[in-house]
């Protein structure tokens, strides 16, 4: 997502608020004194009128998007089969604590990301929002070898679902059910070689991977996600719009699996 809507929304609120406040403190009284019998808003400059009208609306939207929930559209195949290109997801902004919009500073601590959850965050190499699955949390020892994960010495359970041909690589691929943190989800992996990797997750860090393991740029490439760059927890798909001139559909609507579902 290339447009940083929270950034522009925040500054729109600030500008409208400053215009309205400046007029109230320095100019409104003089207008009323000059026209005591007129409606106080009748001689209000157009710019002030717009600022006064838009400020509460923009502030409400900023509060809802900044502290409660925010929608995002999936732009890539990195989370297939869990998420497809064009899925609209709902992100819980307070699941991991209340943060100031734009600045990202946590003001209230509520919870921490858990293994298996789907999280939206800003990676260390790119200012855009990414969405991946939480694989490792602070203190974890994680190993990825032969396309399988081992966390703190315990291999994750995998259940084969089906085989198919990867259309991008033109080679065989498989779909498995992977269970991590009590959450079962489907992943795709191909027969392409992947070198073994091992990590120790440090304080305030999270190891992130896409469910489409061989078509995901994630912590295996650019390192850990940082706690201060967390945006929120993805909780549901609420609509889907296929690329191109297509109408949105609601056939894929669902809540994401949690550990409590098992």
Quick check: 218 pLDDT over 50? yes
Helix (H) or strand (E) holding 123: none
Apex 202 CA angle, 196 and 206, nearest 5: 70
- DSSP, collapsed to helix, strand or coil, labels residue 13 as helix
CA–CA distance, 88 with 3 (Å, rounded to integer): 16
Annotated catalytic residue within 53, 76, 132, 147: 132
CA–CA distance, 125 with 169 (Å, rounded to integer): 26
Helix (H) or strand (E) holding 164: strand 158-166
- Its pTM stands at 0.82
Q: What is the pLDDT of residues 90-104, one digit of tens each?
A: 999 889 988 877 777
Please state the rounded mean pLDDT for residues 124-152.
Answer: 96
Q: Where residue 133 falls among pLDDT bands split at 50, 70, 90?
A: very high
Annotated catalytic residue within 78, 189, 216, 233: 78
Q: Where residue 1 falls among pLDDT bands split at 50, 70, 90?
A: very low
Domain ranges of the chain: 5-67, 74-261
Cβ atoms of 146 and 176 closer than 8 Å: no
Cβ atoms of 16 and 24 closer than 8 Å: no
Q: For 40, phi and psi rounded to 5 degrees?
A: -55, -25
CA-based torsion, 243, 246, 249, 251: positive or negative: negative
Apex 72 CA angle, 238 and 199, nearest 5: 110
CA–CA distance, 131 with 253 (Å, rounded to integer): 18
Q: What is the pLDDT of residues 35-91, one digit of tens each?
A: 777 777 777 899 999 999 999 999 888 888 777 888 888 989 999 999 999 999 999
49-68 core/surface letters (b: 16 or more CB in 10 A; e: else)? eebbebbeebeeebeebbbe
131-170 core/surface letters (b: 16 or more CB in 10 A; e: else)? bbbbbbbbebebebeebebebeeeebebeeeeeeebeeee
Which one-letter DSSP state was computed for residue 260?
G
Instruction: In the chain, count H helices and then E strands.
Output: 4, 17
Return the CATH number of 74-261, one of 3.40.50.2020, 3.40.1050.10, 3.40.50.970, 2.10.109.10.
Answer: 2.10.109.10
Question: Any catalytic annotation for residue 78?
Answer: yes
Cβ atoms of 43 and 32 closer than 8 Å: no
Quick check: 164 pLDDT over 80? yes
Question: Any catalytic annotation for residue 132?
Answer: yes
CA atoms within 13 A on the CB side of 221: 11
Please state the rounded mean pLDDT for residues 186-196.
Answer: 95
Q: What is the pLDDT of residues 107-126, one digit of tens each?
A: 888 899 999 999 999 999 99
Please state the rounded mean pLDDT for residues 225-238.
Answer: 94
């Amino acid at each position: 997502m290339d447009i940083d809507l929270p950034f522009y929304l925040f500054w729109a609120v600030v500008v409208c608020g400053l215009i309205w406040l400046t007029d109230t403190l320095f100019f409104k009284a003089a207008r009323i004194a000059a026209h005591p019998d007129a409606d106080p808003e009748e001689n209000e400059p157009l710019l002030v009128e717009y600022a006064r009208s838009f400020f509460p609306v923009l502030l409400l939207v900023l509060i809802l998007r900044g502290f409660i929930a925010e929608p995002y559209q999936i732009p890539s195949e990195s989370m297939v089969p869990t998420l497809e290109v064009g899925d609209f997801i709902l992100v819980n902004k307070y699941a991991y604590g209340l943060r100031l919009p734009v600045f990202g500073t946590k003001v209230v601590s509520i919870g921490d990301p858990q293994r298996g959850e789907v999280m939206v965050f800003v990676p260390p190499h790119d200012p855009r929002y990414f969405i991946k699955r939480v694989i490792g949390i602070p203190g974890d020892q994680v190993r990825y070898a032969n396309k399988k994960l081992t966390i703190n010495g315990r291999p994750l359970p995998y259940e084969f679902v089906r085989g198919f041909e990867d259309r991008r690589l033109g080679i065989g691929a498989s779909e498995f059910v992977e269970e991590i943190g009590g959450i079962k989800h489907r992943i795709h992996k191909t027969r392409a070689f992947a070198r073994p990797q091992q990590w120790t997750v440090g304080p305030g860090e999270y190891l992130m991977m896409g469910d489409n393991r061989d078509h995901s740029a994630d912590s295996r490439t650019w390192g850990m996600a940082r706690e201060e760059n967390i945006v929120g927890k993805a909780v549901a798909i609420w609509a889907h719009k296929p690329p191109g001139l297509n109408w949105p559909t609601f056939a894929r609507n669902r809540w994401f699996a949690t550990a409590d579902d098992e």
